[in-house]
Amino acid sequence: METKTLVNTTEVDVRFSEVDSLRVVWHGNYLLYFELGREAFGKQYDLEYLQVYEKGFVVPLVKTMVEHKSPLVYGDTAIIETTLMDNPAAKMVFKYRIFCKSTGKLAATGETVQVFVDNDGDLCITMPPFFEEWKKQQGLL
């Protein structure tokens, strides 16, 4: 059986406020690009942060990882590819690839892990029912 993959691709212009004095994107801003990718993913696949919140949960990051490959500079357009890595646990794992639009070069790769926490601040050990239903709707279950 073939596993379905959910991927979003979005573009963002590198802004002046995101670069250092050498015009190179400051390394910490790649996490911002990952967040922009997750937000675009949520919009495309009907899993936005406010929807999760309205279901009684938040999804804090518990792990971030970035590997820098080739610098982005002021004036570049970054292409952010965000892929949900399906898993049976009560968490969301995303992998990222960021490319420079003009050159096609891979600028960075990375991964984030988010867990579900309920309104009482308790970590969810099992998958929340709404997320299980969402996965069914997406063809992941």
Domains in the chain: boundaries = 6-137
pLDDT in tens, 127-137: 999 999 999 99
Give residue 1's pLDDT: 47
Mean predicted lDDT score pLDDT of the chain: 95
CATH superfamily for 6-137 is Hotdog Thioesterase (3.10.129.10)
pLDDT in tens, 64-107: 999 999 999 999 999 999 999 999 999 999 999 999 999 999 99
Q: How confident is the model at residue 141 (pLDDT cuts 50, 70, 90)?
A: confident
What gap in Å lies between CA 3 and CA 80, rounded to an integer?
A: 22
- Predicted structure pTM score: 0.94
| Residue 109: pLDDT over 90 | yes
DSSP-assigned letters across all residues of 98-115 = EEETTT--EEEEEEEEEE
Give residue 4's pLDDT: 85
